[in-house]
Amino acid sequence: VSGGTRALLVGLALVAMPAAARAAPCPESWAASLGPLPAGVGPADFGAVPEACPGSELTLRLRGTLLVASAAPDFFGSVAAGAMLRARHPLARRAWISFALDAVTFRYVANAVVTSSGLAVGPPTIGIYRALGDRPELAVALYGRVLLPFDTARQSGVETGLEAGLAARFTPRARVGLDGGLAVAAPVDVVGGQVHPFLRPAALVEGWWAPRPCLGLFAGAEGRFQAAPDPSFTSIAPRAAARFALRHGLSLALLVEVPVAGSDRTDLVAGLYASWAPP
């Protein structure tokens, strides 16, 4: 945890540094090639590698996750469907903030034949981002995020946490590029007076191709780990997405993610994104 905290402090310091010039590879906020899309199974956008480019937008994500382990010995399954609202807004030419909130989440969990379901609100996150460097084909941003401890799904305690990371976008050619980054999330469960901290890094690499200005295609994978306690490999999750730029700053996107290895038993993550960027 102390290492993660140090990294976060360094990151926050870098975010606050003055910027020289806007990164060239960054498209407009409504562009079809803008990425990466926040996915995974974490709360709101916590733990998801963000965009490397500054921008202003409002996004509604409808996300579904599916875990089917109905065969012996698991006899387990869960489905979650939720709506997340996420907003980004520039603070300065090279700095921006985000606010994300799981506005509503429905969960259905089957522990063999004992099942539960319910709706929940929360948690929210607040993030702050700082673009770095000034290379024509590369955009880099450091960021930090806070997971705010408001989640009506929790019965006895809260989950909060900090996250720091690095997002990058490499655009060697006009219609082709790479997104990626590293996210180091440190969620903390505080329950019944006991504190359970975790350190969970994740790395994303995703290529994109925009065959037309209104269409962006994305493919990549994210690796997730738990560094502490009990280090373990969580998952490697190939993902594919398509984003359509519409008129008036609107865009729609679809994403599918399939964790294929590791301890995460999630079978499928799917997201539908509707975004609006002010002209």
Partner 1 sequence: MRGVSRPPLIAAGALACVAATVGGCRRDGCVGGDDGRCLPPSACSAVRYTCDATPDQLRVAQVAGDERVPGPKAMAAVGDFVLENDRLRAVIDALDHPQHLAPTGGTLADLAPLDAGSGDQMNGVSQAVGVLPRDAAHYESWEVVDQRLAAAPEARYVALVFRGHLEGDRRVTVVTRYELRPCEPGLRIRTDVYNGAPDPNTIYVTDGYFWGDHTLLPFIPIAGHGFRTPDLDLLNLSAAWREWPFLAARAQAPPDVSYAVVPCDRNVGAGFNSTTLSAAGVPLRTTLSGDGISYERFVLAAAGPGLGPAVGEALRVRAMVHGDPAPVTVTGRILSGGLPTDGRQGRAASLLFYEPAGGPNPDDETRRLPWTEAVPGPNGRFTVALPPNRVYRIQPFAFGRPSGSPASIAVAGDDLDAGDITVERSGRLLASVEEAPGVGATYVELVLIPVDRPTAADGPEPSLYGDFVGCNPMLGPPHGGSPACNRALTTDGHFDLLVPPGRYFVYATRGPFATLDRAEITVGAGDEVAVSLLVQSLPSLLPAGALTGDFHVHGGASYDSAIPDQDRVVSFLASGVNVIVATDHDVVTDYQETLAALGAQDRITVIPGVEQTPNILWFTVPGEAFPKTVGHFNFWPLRRDALAARNGAPWDELREPGQMMDDMEALFDGGPEGGMRQLNHPLSDTKLGRDQGFLRMIKYDPRTPIAAGQSFAADVLLRVPGSRLRNLDWNAQEVMSGASRRDWLRYRALWFSLLSQNVLRAGTANSDTHSLSLERVGYPRNIVLGRYDQQAFTVEGFDADVRDGHLVGTNGPVIDATVDDGMGGVHGSGLTPFAADGRTGRLDISVTAAPWIPVAEVRIFVNGAQVKTIGVSDSFQTDHFSTEPGSVQLAVPLSEVVPAGGDAWIVIEAGLEQVTPPDDEDGVSDGYPDLPDDDVPTRPRSLTDPRFDVEAVAPGVWPTAFTNPFLLNLDGGDWVAPGIK
Among 103, 104, 121, 126, the residue binding partner 1 under the rule CB under 8 A is 126
Site string for partner 1, 29-68 (x = CB under 8 A): --------------------------------------x-
Nearest CB to partner 1, comparing residues 115 and 213: 115
Which segment (26-34, 47-55, 108-116, 211-219) binds partner 1 by CB under 8 A? 108-116
Which segment (29-37, 71-79, 178-186, 209-217) binds partner 1 by CB under 8 A? 71-79
Q: Which long-range contacts (CB under 8 A, 24 or more apart) does 199-204 make?
A: 199/1, 199/3, 199/4, 199/226, 199/227, 199/228, 200/47, 200/224, 200/225, 200/226, 200/227, 200/234, 201/225, 201/227, 202/40, 202/47, 202/48, 202/49, 203/49, 204/36, 204/49, 204/179, 204/180
CA dihedral in degrees (260, 161, 277, 94; nearest 10)? -110
Does 81 bind partner 1 (CB under 8 A)? Our answer is no
Does 109 bind partner 1 (CB under 8 A)? Our answer is yes
CA dihedral in degrees (9, 15, 18, 24; nearest 10)? 150
Does 21 bind partner 1 (CB under 8 A)? Our answer is no
Smallest distance, partner 1 to C-beta of residue 134, A: 18
Does 128 bind partner 1 (CB under 8 A)? Our answer is yes
Neighbouring residues of 166: CB distance < 8 A, sequence distance ≥ 6 = 11, 140, 141, 142, 143, 181, 182
Residue 112's SS3 state is coil
Residues 145-174 that bind partner 1 (CB under 8 A): 146-151, 153-160
- By the criterion CB under 8 A, which residues form the site for partner 1? 12-13, 15-16, 18, 67, 71-73, 75-76, 78, 80, 91-92, 95, 97, 107, 109-118, 126, 128, 130, 144, 146-151, 153-160, 187-196, 234, 263-265
